[in-house]
Structure 1
Amino acid sequence: MSSVRGVAVLLALLTLAACADPPSTGSRPSSPAPSPRVELPAGPDALVLRVQHVGGFTTPDMLAARLPVVSVYADGRVITDGPVPAIYPGPALPNLQVTRLDPAEVRTLAEQALEAGIRETADLGTPPVADATTTRFTLVTADGRYVREAYALRESLPRDLGPAPDAGLTEEQAAARAELAAFLDELTVPSTGTAPVEPYRPDALAVVVSPWIDPGDGLEHPAQPWPGPPLPGEPLGALPEQTCLTVGGDQLAPVLDAARQATSATPWLGADGARWSLTFRPLLPDESGCADLVG
């Protein structure tokens, strides 16, 4: 479960912007700061920065519907996965939260991402760890899109961002991983401050569908009628029993209302009486449908 908090992200970024060394201006310290080294992509919904975990050992539905750790947009929105109750079964809907930065802070963040090595291409090595996730950093500027991936990033640097024993990494690989891990820490460090945090209200949902299987936990799981488009939707990925559908427009509100009353283990009844397991994935501003979940 992600430990990222929207408030923590905002305050961490503000602290970075305030504490960063000022750009060199030679003998004119009172001169205005130079123009940013990067320009943001055009459009309020344009993605600037995303950190996400891909792969790893989990269920196919969770792999498909996994949310990014953090997404930052050109208009300053910072969207993260908020806390959820530590109960079983958990809520059907994730708790996405949004905070806001101003454009200068977003540019500063993009510059720090570059400094952390996100546009570098040198091999980061492959630690001898099984079933770990890959941390994917995506940075988008007006000049292009950069993607940097590190398999088992945390497992290779467990203490003080130093190389783990027997991590199978060169000094250069360990140093590059440490830069990325430090940048990720700066995005997700807990904070005790207060900042505006709002629920993220999606314009559409992707719903990952698979046949419902009794979890065998001895609990009652009342079935709930499905108020959305016909189940099971269209095939998603390579698994024949995993499908997906997109819910938006007038159907979104009744689906959200029903999902708020459900749990992750709720069986959903299709029009033919079949029972389905549904995993809800709010679509982010740069996403439009189920195809965005694959990749």
Structure 2
Amino acid sequence: MIMATVLMSAGALTACGGTDDAKAPAKTVSPTPAASAPASTGAATSPPTDPGPLASGRLLLRWRMTGGFAGVGNPGSLPEFSLYGDGRAVAAGKNGGKPMEYRLKPDALARLMNEAKAAGLDHSQTIGPENIADAMILQITMGDAKTRVIQPESQSTPITQFWKKLEPAAWPKTDQAAPARTYEPAKVALLAGQTGGTEGENTRPFTLVPLGRGEQASGGMCTVVSGDKAKEALKLSSAAKPTTQWRNEGKVYSLRFRPLLPDEKTCADVAVS
């Protein structure tokens, strides 16, 4: 697969950054020789030992990429991949595209989670040297376990082999319960930053909500909108240009439109994901 890093500003939905602290004590693991994750077959496997999450919309797996010379993974950006217990997977759009939603059949979901556990993602760990400046860092969350892989493209471990399977666009159609579709969020976070500049030809009025009255999060003032306002925010995002600025209550702002994922409800959720 491979990774999708999409920035979303006034004209596009973004993909990026997050946190990597583990609740459980992390251990450092040296890279191992090339290994393959358990092969995926068409036959159903037994479900994970805890079937509860699979019967809900709870977050099961998430990965994102951070670091690098270009500073991938800005605060408040969309993770590259999120998988939920009802089989939904949301993948960030590529090359400025919109996020896409996929849905796995129950047996395919159980098989994937079994492979994640077999790869070692059910316990926190760090793989690779931590003294590399501007290193790319793959962060994978599975429940409370958080795994960090430094320079993942240069590693060959069961975890990196499994990670390459988390590309929904390449999943077999026989594993999918429905065709892929554009992700339609119930809520959208508006991340505004006052520019301090004057209005120009790319300045547009913004009347949905007062941008300067939100809460501080992800490097800007954050306001969450839902319902019709969320739909209108997405329309404005699609129609805007990357250079668009927004006039609101007599001030000029830059604005990022961040769709909230199914497990996210507030600006605080956006700040940590």
Q: Specify the TM-score bucket, using the shorter chain as the normaliser.
A: 0.7 to 0.9
Gaps of 5+ in 1: 5-14, 23-32, 86-93, 162-177, 215-219
Corresponding letter in the other structure for 2:237: A
Kindly indicate whether residue 264 of structure 2 is the aligned counterpart of residue 284 of structure 1: no
Larger Cα Rg: Structure 1 or Structure 2? Answer: 1
Change beyond 3 A, Cα 1:280–1:133: farther
Quick check: 2:126–2:149 contact (8 Å CA) kept in 1? no
TM-score, reference length from structure 1: 0.67
Match of 1:236 in 2: 217
Shift of 1:43: 5.6
Q: Cα 1:255–1:129, aligned 2, differ >3 Å: closer, same or farther? A: same
2:207 maps to 1:184:
no
The verdict on how the C-alpha distance between 1:56 and 1:210 changes in structure 2, with shifts beyond 3 A counting, is farther
1:128 is displaced (CA, Å) by 3.6
Structure 1 residue ranges (4+ consecutive) displaced by more than 6 angstroms after TM superposition = 192-195
Partner residue of 2:9? none
TM-score by length of structure 2 reads: 0.72
Q: Which structure 2 segments of 5+ residues have no match?
A: 6-37
Q: CA RMSD in A?
A: 3.2
Equivalent pair of 2:101/2:181 in contact (CA under 8 Å): yes
Partner residue in 2 for 1:109: 112
The answer as to 2:234 corresponding to 1:256 is: yes
Task: Indicate if the aligned counterparts of 1:209 and 1:277 stay in contact, CA closer than 8 A.
Answer: yes
- Asked whether the equivalents of residues 134 and 150 of structure 1 are also in contact (C-alpha less than 8 Å), the reply is yes
Matched-pair contact (CA < 8 Å) for 1:136–1:150: yes
1:51–1:136: 8 Å Cα contact kept in structure 2? yes
SS of residue in 1 equivalent to 2:75: helix
Which whole-Å CA distance do the structure 1 matches of 2:196 and 2:105 have between them? 46
CA distance 1:282–1:127, change in 2 (3 Å): same
Match of 2:203 in 1: 223
Q: Distance in 2 between matches of 1:193 and 1:281?
A: 29
What is the number of equivalent residue pairs in this alignment? Answer: 232
Hey, what does 1:205 align to over in structure 2?
Answer: 188
> Structure 1 residues 58 and 231 mapped into 2: Cα distance closer, same or farther (>3 Å)?
farther
CA distance in 2, matches of 1:82, 1:149: 23
CA distance in 2, matches of 1:48, 1:37: 14
**In 2 relative to 1, CA 213–56 (structure 1 residues): closer, same or farther, beyond 3 Å?**
farther
Q: What is the one-letter code of the residue matched to 1:260?
A: S
Higher strand share: 2
Q: Percent identity?
A: 27
- Higher relative contact order, chain-length normalized (CA < 8 Å, sep 6+): 2
